[in-house]
Amino acid sequence: MIGRIAFITGATSGIGAACARRFAAEGAKVVATGRRKERLDELARELGDACHTIVLDVQEREAVERVFGELPSAFAAVDVLVNSAGGALGLARVDQARVEDWEDMIAANVRGLALVTRAAIPGMIARRRGHIVNLGSVAGSYTYPGGNVYGATKAFVERFSMNLRADLLGHPIRVTNIEPGMVETEFSVVRFGGDRAKADAVYAGMKPLVADDIADVVHFAVTRPAHVNVNRLEVMPVDQAFGPFAVHRGPPKG
């Protein structure tokens, strides 16, 4: 990682923050972005000169399009993009879900990821090097009750990642979709509107992954030889697996 520059969205917590720390520890320079300035300031103090922070909402198109052109020269040649911003909101079934939650998830998980990726690619093409790492989810492949729009946004991430590979063929730019299962971060706290008890219940009685586990997986993908592309990497805790098909028996629900 020495000499490499990583641009990380969602670096104020969870997997994004873990990636920033792991990359900096391995000798990379890090552009850490997120919406919470106080969290970014803490990260900058921790990582020192290796870290440049930017308050950025990935949903704001003009800000995203501007940010790569305004990077300090020492951080401008971004060759790793980690799209970690986004998340889940609510776990209600489709007829009870808040449309506002759907809109927010689509804005961050789909629109934001696409906007940042589009803004980063021209520089990577010009410099003839780059690696785009998208944080997807097993929810993009496996359905569960209440996962409706969140799962759909992560299915977008998987398909977008593969389409990037097709579009960038012939350029020395790699694309990887990391698809975690259950990872204990602020994810569930946010999903349940700050209800810590509900969030803790998600992981009760099992050992989930943690943010550093996923940062380790991201580090693995970006440190493979330049001719090796990890397309998709799905990772779950040992305590999570797959169940039988759901079958409804009896009369239709009222």
| Strands of the 232-235 sheet, one edge to the other | 51-55, 29-34, 5-8, 80-83, 130-135, 173-180, 232-235
Is residue 217 a contact partner of residue 178, using CB atoms and an 8 Å limit? yes
C-alpha to C-alpha distance for 118 and 134, rounded to whole angstroms? 13
Of the residues 142, 144, 150, 203, which is catalytic?
Answer: 150
Name residue, tokens 């992981």: 203
User: Rounded to an integer, what distance in angstroms lies between the CA atom of residue 22 and that of residue 212?
Assistant: 8
CA–CA gap between residue 4 and residue 79 (Å, rounded): 7
Q: Is residue 7 packed enough to be buried (19+ CB in 10 Å), middle (13-18) or exposed (0-12)?
A: buried
Q: How far apart are CA 216 and CA 252, in angstroms?
A: 46
Q: Which backbone phi and psi does 42 adopt, to 5 degrees?
A: -60, -40
What value, to the nearest 5°, has the Cα angle with vertex 84 and ends 163 and 150? Answer: 75
- Examine the residue annotation and report whether 203 is marked as an active-site residue of this protein: no
Spatial CA neighbour of 58 closest among 119, 99, 17, 147: 119
Active-site positions read 150
